[in-house]
Structures are given as structure tokens and as C-alpha cells.
Chains A and B, each alone.
Chain A
Amino acid sequence: MRYGAVPALRELSIEIRAGEIVCLLGGNASGKSTTMKTVIGSVRPAKGSVWYEGQDITNWNTSRRVASGIAIVPEARRIFPRLTVLENLMMGAFIRNDRAEIDRDLEGVLEMFPRLRERRTQKGGTMSGGEQQMLAMARALMSRPRFLCMDEPSMGLAPVLVEQQFETIQRLNATGITIFVVEQNATMALGIANRGYVLQSGRVVLAGTAASLLKNPQMQRAYLGM
């Protein structure tokens, strides 16, 4: 995938291969969220293009992108606070019409997150931050994505939940879902990623395999707190 100049981004070029976990790191206002929005289609690049599975999807709207297998777990979770857990999950499957398969996937995510099953008739907004994060993730899975974007999944979560969160990401990746994760928590993200990009003021300043980034002295100074 390539992105061009959205005001917050400049000459940014990122490539994610099928089956990978790729992380995008950077501080506040470095352009991470704008990158994510460009992928899902709520921001259109002024120049440049977005490619997915061999197709130029730059001019596709979000519905079409979701229907072709891209899903997002947005920053701050953004679950629907006054819909029940089940209704939230069904919204994740909004673009699908295969009733029987939807029911199967629903069973699958409730299996994966038993806490959501316990709370299925509760309003989303009444749950804890960790539970809302599970719900946001499960909701994204209900569209049966091949490419899952996660915007700051560790934000506002207790350390033990962050660890669970990253384990879940690895489990999903093992089932064949390609993962693009935007994170401030560089150590955690590089711990599970194949490759990473570091953004600064809308430009890629570092890129490479997770292992090489972890060893990079510049990286260690600026982001890993070593």
C-alpha cells in the first residue's frame, strides 16, 4: 500500500504483505491515526494511492472496503454505547447477508470472549474499558476480515489486559488474518510484529524488521526508553 500527501502525511509509503503483523509506531500527532483512516477510507489522500489485494482502492468508500475484507478496531474503541453487546456485534456484520455463517461467527467470537457472552444483553456503554476493547475487536471480527487494522489497542488498558490484547492479536494472525497495528507502546508492538515503521511528522523515519528496530540505537533512545 502507498499513501500520498494527506495534510498530516507526506510521501508515506507502507507495504503490508498477506499474513504479516506490521506495526506503525510514533508519538502523538505523527500521523498514525490519519494513516489508519486512509486505509479504512474515512480520509482520502490528496495524492497517492491505496492498494489492496492487487486492486487500487483509493476511490472506494468505506462500505466497499469493509465488504472486501478490511476491518478496523478504532482508537478509543468507539463501540455503540446504547446498543447491547449483541447488537454491537451484529453491526459488525452489517455488510454481510449470509445469515447462517453470521450466526456461526457470532458463536465463534462469543467462544473467544466468554465475558461478552455473559454480558450479551447489556448496553455497550456500561462495560469496563477492557470489556469494551474485547467488544470492539469482536465486532470487527464479525465482518470476517482478511485485513484487520487496530488503532492503539493498548490505550487506556491495565498492563495485564494489554498483554492479553497482544496475545489475542497473535492468535488472530495465526488464523490467517493480516494485521496492521498502530501503537504508542513500541516495545509491546515490536514484540509481536514481523516488521515496523516509525512515523514522525507524517514521514517514515525508520523502517525494518521488528528485530532490527528493537536493536536500532536511534529507536532505543527515542521510543523504547533505553
Chain B
Amino acid sequence: MGYFLQQLVNGLELGSLYALVALGYTLIYGILELLNFAHGDVFMVGAFLAAGAAAALVHNEVAAIPGGFVVVLMLLVAMGGAGVLGVAIERVAYRPLRNANRLAPLITAIGVSLLLENAVFVWVSPAPVLVPTNALVSQGIIQAGSVATPLTGLVLFAGSLALMIALDLFVFRTRFGSAMRATAQDREAATFMGIDVDRVIMVTFFLASALAGLGGVLFGLRYASVDFFMGYGLGIKAFTAAVIGGIGNIRGAMVGGLLLGVLESLSGGFISTQFQDTFVFLALIAVLLLRPQGLLGQPVTDRA
């Protein structure tokens, strides 16, 4: 039982990271019907920005200013930087193709992904970069019965959850959020309301990318190492989570991410770590066969 709970906790930590990145896929798909395959790499760039900010302020394991402030700076730099990167990618790579054949932006997205990975590989570091977490956050372990997790794991889970709730409130409770949903449902009709659709799309890219940047910070704090290829595997997992939850559906991405993390952790813990990804993608196939619109997705027949 203790082992099961431990795996469950590990899975929820990992799953909250998947969920954060999955939200970005789903937000952008929801509004443009575009699979933004560069999104995992925006997460990676966010993680590097955070690692860079930490490296600038921490020397020989000693932070120049209190660790908490360094973390706040890492959040600002990574979330802001990733957000601006996302907006720039949309402006330069996707907007010119908005009325093109749907295959064109998809291939462009793969191109942007390769570009980001290789740019970081060549200009930043081909080897993993360490994040000096010792100097930044308490390395304490939380123990509850037989279940133990580092404090950073709890921060990862709580931080993700808090931002997901904030995003949900923004999209479902504010006027701009309604405009985002309206744009997602019928872009031309949204312009008839006087909604500036370009601005809505820009804000959507900023939010999606900033969440990925947050994921990058939390990843670095929890796992203490970042590398140029980290966005690829995590991006695919997060995309899978978004599809399982119902792509385009915000709550679906959260549920899909958490489920996927738990499934991966449990199958790794109880069956085989080598085959844990197999189970993840088997789950995807099962969902696509039994409920192709995803767990929380609506069937696409309700367009008036």
C-alpha cells in the first residue's frame, strides 16, 4: 500500500508537469486548430532561461540574494521569456499561414521545434546544464507515513495546480476569456462582435507559452538538470495528455496530464520502467478507439 501511494505521489508530480504543458497544446489547438509541435521546445527554452537566471545569481552553491528571490526572478524570466517567444513564433511562423492548407502550419511547427532545439544545442549547451537547487529551495523531504517526497515535488504540484486554476478562472469567468472561447468556436463571428481576433490569438500564445515556461522552472527545481532535448519527450507526453483529455478542452488537459503521470508512474513501479511509455501510448490508443473526442471533449457535431 505504501509503495502504491508513493508511486501515486510521484505520478501526480510528473502529471502536474504534463498538465501544464498539455494546457498550452490545448489552448492553441482550441483557438487555431493548430498542433503547435514547437510547444515542448518552448518549455525547454523556459527551463534554460530559468537555469540561466539561476546561474547568474548563484556562485559556488551560494546565492547572491536570498534563494526565494532568485526563484521569483527565475519565474519572471522564464515565464515572460517563454511567453514572448510563443508570441514571436505565432507572429513570424504561423500567422502568415493562417489561411493556408492545414498541413503547412503543422510542418512549420515541426520546423520551429527543430530550430529551437538546434539553436540551444549550438549556442547554449549540447550537454545538460545543472540547476543549483541546493542554494535556492529547501532540500527537505516531506514524510507522511511511508510516503516521502522532496519539498520541491510538492512545490511542483501546488504551483502547477494554482496556475491551472487561475487559467481556468480567466478563461471561464472573465470577459476576455469569453472572447477567447468565442474566437475558438467561430472566428469570423467573433470579429462581427468587434473582437480583435489577432489580439486574442496573441494573448492565447502568451498564456500557453508562459505556462510552459512555468513548467520549465518547476522542472529545473525538481530534477536539477535541463538539456536541449528535454522538450521533445515531454512535449509528446503532454500532447498525448491533451488528446486523452480532449484536445481543445482546458479541464480535459488538466485531467489528461494528471492521469498520464499517474499511469506512467504506476506502470513503471509495478510492471516495468522500460515499458512505462508503452502503457502511456496504449492508453492513448484505447481512448482514441473508445472515445475519440477524448475524456472531456465534446463530439464535434454541435456547430450551429
| Stretch of B14-22, B181-189, B280-288 contacting A (4+ beta carbons < 8 Å) | B181-189
Q: Is A94 within 8 A of B194, CB to CB?
A: yes
Q: Mark A60-86, 1 if CB is under 8 A from B, else 0.
A: 011101110001101011111111000
A67 to chain B: closest residue by CB: B194
Given contacts A66-B192, A91-B193, A123-B302, 9 further A-B contacts (CB under 8 A): A66-B194, A77-B304, A80-B185, A80-B189, A81-B186, A81-B303, A82-B181, A82-B298, A90-B175
Q: Decide: A91 and B303 in contact? CB cutoff 8 A.
A: no
B160 vs chain A, min Cβ distance (A): 26
Contact B192 A40 (CB under 8 A): yes
Cα–Cα, bound, A31→B186 (Å): 23
Is A124 close to B, CB under 8 A? Answer: yes
- The reply to whether the CB of A42 lies closer than 8 angstroms to some CB of chain B is yes
Residue from B175, B181, B195, B298 in contact with A63 in the complex, judged by beta carbons closer than 8 Å: B195
Whether B61 sits at the interface, judged by CB under 8 Å, is no
**Known contacts A80-B185, A81-B302, A82-B185; A94 and B175 CB within 8 A of each other:** yes
Residues of B whose CB lies within 8 Å of any CB of A are: 175, 178-179, 181-182, 185-186, 188-196, 298, 302-304
In the assembled complex, A178 has its CB within 8 A of some CB on chain B: no
17 pairs, A vs B, C-beta closer than 8 Å: A40-B192, A62-B192, A63-B196, A71-B192, A72-B192, A80-B185, A81-B185, A82-B181, A83-B182, A90-B175, A90-B178, A91-B182, A91-B195, A92-B193, A124-B304, A125-B304, A132-B304
Chain A residues with CB under 8 Å of B179's CB are 91, 94
Determine whether the beta carbon of B195 is less than 8 Å from that of A94.
yes
Contact indicator B193/A78 (Cβ below 8 Å): no
List, in ascending order, chain B residues with CB within 8 A of A95's CB: 193-194
B191 and A42 contacting across the interface, CB-CB below 8 Å? yes
Return the chain B residue nearest A61 by Cβ: B196
Q: Which residues on A sit within 8 Å (CB–CB) of B303?
A: 81, 125
Residue contact A83 to B181, C-beta cutoff 8 Å? yes
Residues of B within 8 A of A125 (CB): 302-304
Considering the chains assembled together, what is the distance between the CA atoms of A27 and B195 in angstroms? 31
A63 touches B189 (CB 8 A): no
Interchain nearest-CB distance for B190 vs A (Å): 8
With A83-B182, A83-B185 known as contacts, the answer to whether A78 contacts B304 (CB < 8 A) is yes
A126 within 8 A of B: yes
- Min Cβ gap A144→B in Å is 12
Chain A residues with CB under 8 A of B188: 42, 74, 78
Residues of B within 8 A of A105 (CB): none
A-side contacts of B186, CB under 8 Å: 78, 80-81
Instruction: Write the nearest CB–CB distance from B246 to chain A, whole angstroms.
Output: 12
B194–A62 touching, CB < 8 Å: yes
Q: Choose among B191, B192, B193, B302 the residue that contacts A82 (Cβ–Cβ < 8 A).
A: B302
Which residues from A are CB-within-8-Å of B195? 63, 91, 94
A127 nearest CB neighbor, chain B only: B304
**CB atoms of A126 and B194 under 8 A apart:** no
User: How far in angstroms is the closest Cβ of chain A from B293?
Assistant: 13
| A20 close to chain B: CB less than 8 A | no
Q: Which residues of B contact A40 (CB under 8 A)?
A: 192
CB-CB under 8 A from B302, the residues of chain A are 81-82, 123, 125-126
Any chain B CB within 8 A of the CB of A143? yes
The answer for the CA separation of A61 and B196 in the assembled complex, in Å, is 9
Contacts of B298 in A (CB 8 A): 82
Chain B residues positioned under 8 Å from A62 (CB to CB): 191-192, 194
In the bound complex, CA of A79 to CA of B191 (Å): 12
Which chain A residues border B189 with CB–CB below 8 Å? 74, 78-80
B178, A78: Cβ atoms closer than 8 Å: no
- Least Cβ–Cβ distance between B200 and chain A, in angstroms: 11
| Residues in B neighbouring A72, C-beta threshold 8 A | 192
